[in-house]
Amino acid sequence: MQMITNWWDSFLEKDLRFQVVIAFSVILLIVSIALFIIVLRLRARKSRADRKASELIDQIEPIILSLIYEEEDEVDWDHEIVNLRNILTFSMYEFHSYARLSDYLIQLHKQLEGDSAKKIERIYRDLEMPPMTLKLLKDGKWHHKVKAISALSEFRIKNYLFEVIQYMDHPQRLVRDEAQFGAIVLGGKRATGSIVKLNYEMSKWQQLRLIEQCAQLDDEIKSDVLSWMNSQNESLIELALRMCIRMGWYEAIENIPRFISHKREEIRLLSVEAIGELGSADLISELLHRFEVESRKVQIRTLMAIGELDADGRASDFLRGQIMYADYEVALAAAHALYETTSDDEMREFSARLEEDRVVLIEQVLYGAV
């Protein structure tokens, strides 16, 4: 005790700056020790929860697999479901256990088809998982919401469509992406009518996901998709153009030409592609009107569209001029377009009038065609 008192008196006699440095050092040491202890406790808690969740899956997996693979007359479905409920009621007191069970059922459902998949859906419902998933959707953090929406769409819980639609324009991107996809899965046409109201931009990957799902609905959603072209959300215009190209909806051609002068390059690219896929030769003049002021990407796409549309060869002189004087990439695209509208002999005849470096373009196109 005397030693501590002497040390303290010696400390008080030191310079003030020394006292401040020592005091901060001691505080930092105490805080570091406290944080280290907290981290250890959190890791131990997580490890304990993961272990309990794994033990739960090991316990219920044989029962679930027997329900899936055994014939219904060989297993007492109601008794086994009650057994599962009892196990879950006793064990599933932490989110880790519920999440692990949900992930396990989702994984099984994605791997199986037919009657086996239907049995998993029945197990999911009989275990009263949907209400728990809905609670997680409403009260959970954003990453919990993503998992909840994914589970609801995977198991086709259609009576929760309204709740999923509420998150289609969520500030967190992953939440709204999953909600948009899940809403289409659960509601079909009932959900596509809500997409036009979205404010946040969609990524290209999300657009492709929605296109693949919407394509299954066929012409049923055509009117909704066409209405997306009037949206203030430019990514919805992109989505509508991609969808019309994918589905071959010629009715869209009345609205598409107004987008070839859009400020967004991606929309101009898609509109030119759509004209090439869905339009007629009458629209070639619209494409040529914008050609000189466009970026190289749009110019190349324009030449591809002309190759698709110009069955009568009305743009042949323009294409020959591009082959002779344009940059190499643009000239090559023009050569491909010209080949689509003329014969091999005419291509070789034109090649004879070109400079040597441009003859290579014609040869490349002819060789590629062979």
| pLDDT tens profile 96-106 | 567 778 888 88
**Are the C-beta atoms of 78 and 99 separated by less than 8 Å?**
no
Burial of 270 (0-12, 13-18, 19+ CB in 10 A): buried
Average pLDDT over residues 81-96: 71
Q: How far is CA 120 from CA 62, 67, 112, 153, 198, in A?
A: 14, 9, 9, 14, 34
Residue 278 pLDDT: 92
Calculate ∠ Cα 18-23-25, nearest 5°: 95
Instruction: For residues 180 and 167, give the distance between their C-alpha atoms in angstroms, rounded to a whole number.
Output: 8
pLDDT tens, residue by residue, 282-309: 899 999 999 999 999 999 999 999 999 9
pTM: 0.79
Count the neighbouring beta carbons within 10 Å of the beta carbon of residue 335.
27
Between CA 214 and CA 208 the distance in angstroms is 10
* Mean pLDDT score across all residues of the chain: 86
Locate 270 and state its tokens: 């898609």
- Pick from 276, 296, 277: which is nearest to 286 by CA? 276
Would you say residue 230 has pLDDT above 60? yes
pLDDT of residue 1: 57
User: Beta-carbon neighbour count of residue 161 at 10 Å?
Assistant: 18
Task: Quote the percentage of the chain above a pLDDT of 90.
Answer: 39
Q: Is 86 helix (H, G, I), strand (E, B) or coil?
A: helix
| C-alpha distances out from residue 240 to 88, 270, 271, 301, 310, Å | 45, 10, 10, 18, 25
Task: Single out the residue of 297, 245, 298, 319 nearest to residue 275, CA to CA.
Answer: 245
| Average pLDDT for 135-154 | 90
User: What's the pLDDT at 94?
Assistant: 53
Residues 139-157 have a mean pLDDT of 91
Q: Is the dihedral of CA 33, 39, 41, 43 positive or negative?
A: negative
The token pair that represents 79 in the structure block: 């008794």
What average pLDDT does the segment 173-191 reach?
A: 93
